[in-house]
Structure 1
Amino acid sequence: MARINLLETRTTRFGDLISNGKIYQVPPFQRDYAWQEENWEDLWQDILMLHTNPDASHYMGALVLQNANRSDKEFTIIDGQQRLATLSIIAIAVIDKLQKLVDRDEDKQANQDRQDILRRTYLSDRDPRSLRYSNKIRLNENNNDFYRSNLVNPRKPLNPRSLSKSNRLLWQAFEYFSGCLEALEDVTNSGEKLAEFLTDTVAQRLLFIQITVEDELNAYTVFETLNARGIELSSTDLLKNYLFSLCQGPDDLQEVQGQWRRIINTVQMEKFPEFLRYYLSLRQTRIRRERLFKIVRESVRDAGQAFTLLDELEKYSSLFIALGNANDEFWRDTPENQPYIRELELFGVKQAYPALLTAYEKFSPQDFTRLLKLISVLSFRYTVVSSLNPNELETLYNKVAIAINKDEITRRN
């Protein structure tokens, strides 16, 4: 097993993470903000428990960071962006409540001072030239502009419905926690209590295990072993992040991003792991879903290999979807295949997909249709006549797919 080079592993608090001029960057290829009300509610209940029990603390899971340029001030977030972004939104909601006290002339100067201190500590530093705030947590390319312009620099969006889904979730998170704070009248009626709530409860008693590594590959290796509190990344997310991280420059990254979008638009995110498993079954036996990312990582080591993989996936993507839909436009020029595709749908047969994927490329159209017919007949006899479990055919079809891919089974056999 490869050695994992950990630069640091320690227990830390949200307040420690975000203080002392540290900056946390979400890579541009990481997923958008995705937490929803059930996630916010779970976090808020944990915070309420801390609020009512001054001696308690709460473990927030592991946070995987990569040192950016070997700096102790700049970090790339490999795992933890959902939690860090949400905690910063809670800080924004607290600071917004302080502003409301200032607007009502309640202990105006003291609350203005508190607001400035909390903003500098937990959110951003102010540029002396533009007088705008630069956020300490920098989200991905789809979320960062909205986060900076409408949250760190508070400004209600003119039309929340026009926002992208993830930006709308960011704004809804702010509104959710603002409402939760309103319910804590003992806190929101006092600037001192608001500051105490953020600095003592949220910042000091929410604990993370901070794992800092030296490069992307080690970061993703660590990530695979964790079950952190945030929305767990699937093998699809891991693969996307890994392939994007192999890019050597912005041009490569833009090309890979475009190709990835085309594949996902065709296959759909929820079906991608199944598609990837069948594709990998063209060359290996007994591919398990939980090992998809590891298998790809072992064979794809640089940008060139990443492009090759994506080219292959894009080539097979339309056929994969068409194998599950007899009415797909893919079969427009070969209507003779539609009855057999319809039968595979009826019998729920997907185990033959690897063999069909490679046969469509290697065989003549007539031989592909013959294979489809044979698989349909076999599936009928196996599932209807014999009432056997069709999953038992998966090993057989896997071996057939590998043999076709290696030209050991050809149209002449």
Structure 2
Amino acid sequence: MSKIDFQIKGIGALIKEHQFSVPNYQRAYKWEDEHIKSLFSDLSKAIDNNESEYFLGTVVLSQKEGSKELEIVDGQQRITTIAIFLSAIRNYFFNNGKSQSANSIQTDFISNYDTRNEENVAKLKLGNQDRTFFQKYIVDNIDEKPTKGSHFRIVTAKDESTKKVKTLSALSETQVHNWKDFILDKLKVVSIIVPGESNAFTLFETLNDRGLVLAQTDLLKNYLFSRAGDYFDEVQFMWIEMTAKIEDALGESSILIYIKHFWSSRNGLTRPENKQLYKSISDSKKSPTDVRDFVKELNDDTKLYIAINNHKDNYWKEHTEHSKNYIETLNYLELEPYKPLVLSILKRFDDKKEVEKSLKLIVSWVVRNLITGSLRGGTLESEYAEKAKNIYNNTIKTAKEFRDKLKVIPSDSEFKERLLTITLSKEKFARYYLRAIENQYKGNGNPECIVNSDPNVVDLEHILPKKPKQGEWPNFTSEEVDEYSNRLGNLTVMSKKDNSNQKNESFKKKKENYKKSEIKITNEIEKNFTEWNKDTIINRQAFLAEIAVKTWNLRLD
């Protein structure tokens, strides 16, 4: 085959005419039940309205010289889902004694029988992760235990398809035939068959430029493969390994985030929006050697990125306990902008104490920015990425240089000023802040590391309840309850056991419980306050603010 073959045809006819395989570098089966239900809903409307066709999009296929099999470059999810639905129709006919109809569908759409090896050869072979399961569970219709997320999604697709066929057959068997015929000829795709993979990758990129394909990781992958030249097999292997490691540890959605953080740590902030990330990488990596080296580094650094997202990772055994605890804290706070920064620190700072000092600073900066609201607008993300680039390029070599050159650190006075009036609506953050303040107040080392804020162990206590008993809190109007109940000065922490029975009691009754608490900032409420009103909340908040400035300090000792 030497020319690109463009055809518009029914997807069923396309499946009937060819053998397909999914290359191992492609993603596993990803359609969830909502995607399948949406497709079936659209088909129902088209068939019920006697529409002449329904367009399902473009599929890009490549054909190697001398091979009859087509590799799916784009269109795997749609082709696989239709194949699963057709297998459900086959199963319906088998179960209802219509063996000729069942065998016809089996031969046309599902598999051909290899008489030499006495086995069904699937017309669609998925990638390594799903191939065996799909063969047994869909092609051969044998019960098989799913072991991967993609297997469970295939099970869901089969279940949804079986339900749909059952619904159709309950109306009439003619409805089942109508759907099969519609899929064969009227469920249209633009089929583009390209000679050779590199041409297919180039075409895929062109289609993306026209807005026809959307997944940026797929776009980037295909660009890199198209530029890999003689290193194609090596680049493909490293890409598969990289995506598998990130997906297994953090989930598929983290792959693009990782690539963004990796690239930003070396080049400054680069976002995926409007293909900025893709354009930046593709403009930089042109030659096969560039592509190979980039994918190798991307693959190698997965171990660092996975460790950044998991303080229990074995990687942290090489570092100080405090560094491990700082990572736990950062992950507890569920923020992303600091990750390129940590990636560069781990990549470039050989001294483990410098790593620890840098992580301590990042925790303090993150909390100060959370409290002051400086995280909004992307300024912090941009500044962190710029400093990550400086560290990667060795223009910043120590934690001190790092601290001195960062521009977006709220000062002690700015931090304290915001703390004096802050309202904390997120209980998770409030528990962490109060636990850390408690540990600073008690004189414990590295108080900002403390993240034991499990709500089943450490309970957030609103001294003035959010819903006080009528008559028990005469110092507050209902409007003032709304205004003051989530103020920092009105919050403390208690053990779940001690706090479970006193939620809406009077201050007098609550004080007796506070007196028994081993938590110092809670225990001292009974000693320091005879009543609870707006002024006491303001005064206690000022007291906690003083401690907070010391808790999330900017020292390097």
Asked if these proteins are the same fold (TM beyond 0.5), I'd say yes
Distance verdict in 2 for CA 1:293–1:267, change over 3 Å: farther
Of 295, 299, 312, which aligns to 2:297? 312
Of 82, 86, 103, which aligns to 2:81? 86
Deviation at 1:284, TM superposition (A): 1.8
Please tell me the residue identity of whatever aligns with 1:262: K
Distance verdict in 2 for CA 1:397–1:74, change over 3 Å: same
Of 286, 289, 297, which aligns to 2:272? 289
Deviation at 1:186, TM superposition (A): 6.9
TM-score by length of 2: 0.58
What is the rounded CA distance, in whole Å, between the counterparts of 1:277 and 1:69 in structure 2?
Answer: 36
Distance verdict in 2 for CA 1:336–1:242, change over 3 Å: same
Deviation at 1:360, TM superposition (A): 3.2
What is the rounded CA distance, in whole Å, between the counterparts of 1:393 and 1:381 in structure 2?
Answer: 12
Distance verdict in 2 for CA 1:399–1:128, change over 3 Å: closer
Instruction: Please list the CA deviations of residues 20-39 of structure 1 after superposition, one character each: whole Å capped at 9, or x if unmatched.
Output: x4222211222222323322
Distance verdict in 2 for CA 1:188–1:172, change over 3 Å: farther
Asked if residue 13 in structure 1 is aligned to residue 10 in structure 2, the reply is yes
Instruction: Please list the CA deviations of residues 68-108 of structure 1 after superposition, one character each: whole Å capped at 9, or x if unmatched.
Output: 3287x5422112112112222222232333334446xxxxx
Deviation at 1:195, TM superposition (A): 4.3
Query: 1:351 matched to which residue of 2?
Result: 337
Q: Confirm or deny: 8 A CA contact 2:73 2:201 kept in the other structure.
A: no
Distance verdict in 2 for CA 1:365–1:12, change over 3 Å: same
After superposition, the CA RMSD in angstroms is 3.9
3-state SS of paired residue (1:62): strand
Deviation at 1:377, TM superposition (A): 4.7
Asked if residue 198 in structure 1 is aligned to residue 180 in structure 2, the reply is yes
Q: Please, which runs of 5 or more residues in structure 2 have no aligned partner?
A: 402-557
Query: 1:179 matched to which residue of 2?
Result: 163
What is the rounded CA distance, in whole Å, between the counterparts of 2:131 and 2:306 in structure 1?
Answer: 34
Q: Confirm or deny: 8 A CA contact 1:123 1:137 kept in the other structure.
A: yes
What is the rounded CA distance, in whole Å, between the counterparts of 1:95 and 1:23 in structure 2?
Answer: 18
Query: 1:335 matched to which residue of 2?
Result: 321
Q: Confirm or deny: 8 A CA contact 2:8 2:191 kept in the other structure.
A: yes
Q: Confirm or deny: 8 A CA contact 1:181 1:188 kept in the other structure.
A: no
What is the rounded CA distance, in whole Å, between the counterparts of 2:367 and 2:237 in structure 1?
Answer: 46
Deviation at 1:14, TM superposition (A): 1.7
Deviation at 1:205, TM superposition (A): 1.7
Distance verdict in 2 for CA 1:244–1:343, change over 3 Å: same
Query: 1:218 matched to which residue of 2?
Result: 202
3-state SS of paired residue (1:282): helix
What is the rounded CA distance, in whole Å, between the counterparts of 2:333 and 2:156 in structure 1?
Answer: 44
What is the rounded CA distance, in whole Å, between the counterparts of 1:186 and 1:349 in structure 2?
Answer: 51
Q: Confirm or deny: 8 A CA contact 1:358 1:405 kept in the other structure.
A: yes
Asked if residue 142 in structure 1 is aligned to residue 129 in structure 2, the reply is yes
Equivalent positions of 1:11-410 (< 5 A) are 11-19=8-16, 21-69=17-65, 74-102=69-97, 112=100, 114-130=101-117, 132-152=119-139, 154-157=140-143, 160-162=144-146, 164-185=148-169, 189=173, 194-199=176-181, 201-214=182-195, 215-222=199-206, 224-225=208-209, 234-239=215-220, 246=228, 257-258=240-241, 260-290=243-273, 291=275, 292-300=277-285, 305=290, 308-323=293-308, 330-332=315-317, 333-337=319-323, 341=327, 344=330, 350-363=336-349, 364-379=351-366, 381-384=368-371, 386-389=372-375, 391-410=378-397
Question: What is the percent sequence identity of the aligned residues?
Answer: 22
What is the rounded CA distance, in whole Å, between the counterparts of 2:147 and 2:313 in structure 1?
Answer: 33
3-state SS of paired residue (2:72): strand
3-state SS of paired residue (1:61): strand
Please tell me the residue identity of whatever aligns with 2:321: P
What is the rounded CA distance, in whole Å, between the counterparts of 2:261 and 2:373 in structure 1?
Answer: 25
Distance verdict in 2 for CA 1:388–1:162, change over 3 Å: closer
Greater Cα offset, 28-37 or 336-345: 336-345
Deviation at 1:221, TM superposition (A): 0.6
What is the rounded CA distance, in whole Å, between the counterparts of 2:305 and 2:147 in structure 1?
Answer: 33
Higher relative contact order (CA 8 A, sep 6+): 1
Please tell me the residue identity of whatever aligns with 1:134: V
Deviation at 1:59, TM superposition (A): 1.8
Q: Confirm or deny: 8 A CA contact 1:34 1:169 kept in the other structure.
A: yes
Please tell me the residue identity of whatever aligns with 1:30: Q
Please tell me the residue identity of whatever aligns with 1:147: F
What is the rounded CA distance, in whole Å, between the counterparts of 2:366 and 2:157 in structure 1?
Answer: 50
Q: Please, which runs of 5 or more residues in structure 1 have no aligned partner?
A: 104-110
Query: 1:108 matched to which residue of 2?
Result: none
Please tell me the residue identity of whatever aligns with 1:76: E
Q: Which has the larger radius of gyration?
A: 2
Deviation at 1:234, TM superposition (A): 4.1
Please tell me the residue identity of whatever aligns with 2:208: E
Q: How many residues align?
A: 389
3-state SS of paired residue (2:61): strand
What is the rounded CA distance, in whole Å, between the counterparts of 1:176 and 1:350 in structure 2?
Answer: 36
